Amino acid sequence: MLRMHDDGASVAFCKNKPKPDYDNGRRGAVMKKDIILPFMAVAILLSGCSKHNAEANYFSPGQFWYDDSGALINAHGGGILSYKNTYYWYGEYKSDTTSNAMTGVSCYSSQDLYTWHNEGIVLPVSDSPESDIQRGCILERPKVIFNESTGKFVMYFHLELKGQGYSAARVGIAVSETPTGPFTFIRSLRPNADILPLNMPSEAGLDKDESHYEGWSAEWVAAVRQGLFTWRDLHTGQMSRDMALYVDDDGKAYHIYASEENLTLQIAELTPDYLGYTGRYKRIQPAGHNEAPALFKKAGKYYMITSGCTGWAPNAARLLTADSLMGEWTLHENPCVGADADLTFHSQSTFVLPIEGKHNAFIFMADRWKPEKHTEGTYIWLPVQFGADGMPYLEWKDNWDLSVFK
Ligand code: GAL
């Protein structure tokens, strides 16, 4: 059952209300109905339940979205894996008072994308101080892909070690035999230590001493473009924060992550088992300040929607395109149109979902963060539309369903 409400207070009412039995044909029941109905109508209006039919098959971006047990879906910064006629939505299980990971990665399953069933916590944080994913660490934007050759489900996520703020900038890797876990944490790392990117510019004339620059000066931006931070982090491995995974048609997988102090995206090829890196990687939009990457492919062309870097506050999305994943990425205008386009409709990209069984049908998924109470952050799902020039665009819809895709 899809349950979306715009008022958290209405949850308990909607959830606990017993289903009335009006259809038993007995006179007593009809009389009871006459008395109860007006009260019910008022109660429903007050509770906000009227806003969305609990059984409705449609999306209401930005409204509270409830799973089939009536609880708010808690899967932020998420991504979806489609496997054997079921969609699995993985995300950050947020707490009310902190954005640190107190629980782990959640998973919900659905056959129709409207109704979601809670599959529980598929990667729990650990209570061991020895663990990289100790409770209280920062564990964000988990994404899961399926490896056809090993038959395993592989999860990557952005990891910040407990007590270190956002300074660790690592990627965590976990693996499972089934889509619903349990996932076993394997390790965390910074990708591609001691390897330079394939498209690294010449170091000629580059002053590699960070302290010689004033942040955001023209010289500093030029040095960042030339690889100031790529060189700085060469031996530790490249910084890895907001991220996406992408499996291409040939089965090769890629990790795309905000690196170099969130100034430059990097795309790194993964090994055939998806559990590590081949060492082939490229820089995308050096000093372009992109994060929250979400990729999709249409008619042989690759598209990536990203955001700028303003923390939990929304900003204008960006669009990049390329003819090959490891090729040249070109930056385009904000793909959002209409009111609040400059704030991505008050949200930040997390994933683009290709819909099974439909041609060129994609859902843009984003988070409307709520740092005052993270559990009440909402999900913005919008259909990706394509203009006459073939370019994708996103337009706000209060309610919509899959029939928008022909
Ligand atoms: C955003 C990022 C989120 C989270 C947040 C913390 O820029 O996309 O995933 O890390 O910053 O402020």
**Residue corresponding to tokens 């598929």:** 122
The confidence score (pLDDT) of residue 56 equals: 65
CB of 309 closer than 6 angstroms to any ligand 1 atom:
yes
Atom nearest to 310 CA in ligand 1: 7
Could you report how far apart the first and last alpha carbons of the chain are, in Å?
24
Cα(267)–Cα(283) distance, integer angstroms? 7
Domains, the chain, with CATH or none:
38-404 (2.115.10.20)
Kindly give the pairing relationship between strand 330-332 and strand 86-93: unpaired
Q: Closest residue (by CA) to atom 11 of ligand 1? A: 311
- Buried-state track 361-396, b at ≥16 Cβ within 10 A, e below 16: bbbbbbbbbeeeebeebbbbbbbbbeeeeeebbbbb
Q: DSSP code of 375?
A: G
CB of 100 closer than 6 angstroms to any ligand 1 atom:
no
Cα(106)–Cα(87) distance, integer angstroms? 14
C-alpha distances (whole Å) from 34 to each of 38, 39, 352 are 7, 10, 48
Among 149, 134, 259, 233, smallest CA distance to 185 is for 134
Atom nearest to 140 CA in ligand 1: 9
Neighbours of 252 (CB within 10 A): 16
CA 154 from centroid of its chain's CA atoms: 16
Atom nearest to 241 CA in ligand 1: 10
Residue 197 CA to ligand 1 center (angstroms) comes to 25
CB of 269 closer than 6 angstroms to any ligand 1 atom:
no
Residue 335 CA to ligand 1 center (angstroms) comes to 21
What is the best residue among 348, 350, 368, 370 to mutate for testing ligand 1's pocket, by most ligand atoms within 8 Å of CB?
Answer: 348
pTM of the predicted structure, to 2 decimals: 0.88
Give pLDDT tens digits for 108-164: 999 999 999 999 999 999 999 999 999 999 999 999 999 999 999 999 999 999 999
CB of 77 closer than 6 angstroms to any ligand 1 atom:
yes
CB of 119 closer than 6 angstroms to any ligand 1 atom:
no
The torsion angle over the Cα atoms of residues 276, 149, 298 and 84, rounded to 10 degrees, is -120
**Where would I find the H helices in 91-241?**
218-225, 228-232
Among 269, 246, 275, smallest CA distance to 183 is for 275
Neighbours of 94 (CB within 10 A): 25
CB of 141 closer than 6 angstroms to any ligand 1 atom:
yes
Q: Closest residue (by CA) to atom 12 of ligand 1? A: 311
Residue 251 CA to ligand 1 center (angstroms) comes to 29
Residue 404 CA to ligand 1 center (angstroms) comes to 31
CB of 377 closer than 6 angstroms to any ligand 1 atom:
no
Residue 312 CA to ligand 1 center (angstroms) comes to 6
Q: Closest residue (by CA) to atom 1 of ligand 1? A: 311
The confidence score (pLDDT) of residue 26 equals: 29
Atom nearest to 166 CA in ligand 1: 10
Atom nearest to 292 CA in ligand 1: 8
Q: pLDDT below 70 — which residues of the chain?
A: 1-56
CA 248 from centroid of its chain's CA atoms: 19
CB of 312 closer than 6 angstroms to any ligand 1 atom:
yes
CB of 67 closer than 6 angstroms to any ligand 1 atom:
no
Residue 36 CA to ligand 1 center (angstroms) comes to 48
Residue 345 CA to ligand 1 center (angstroms) comes to 17
Residue 311 CA to ligand 1 center (angstroms) comes to 5
Tokens linked to 256: 């795309």
Q: Closest residue (by CA) to atom 8 of ligand 1? A: 292
Among 263, 82, 274, smallest CA distance to 171 is for 274
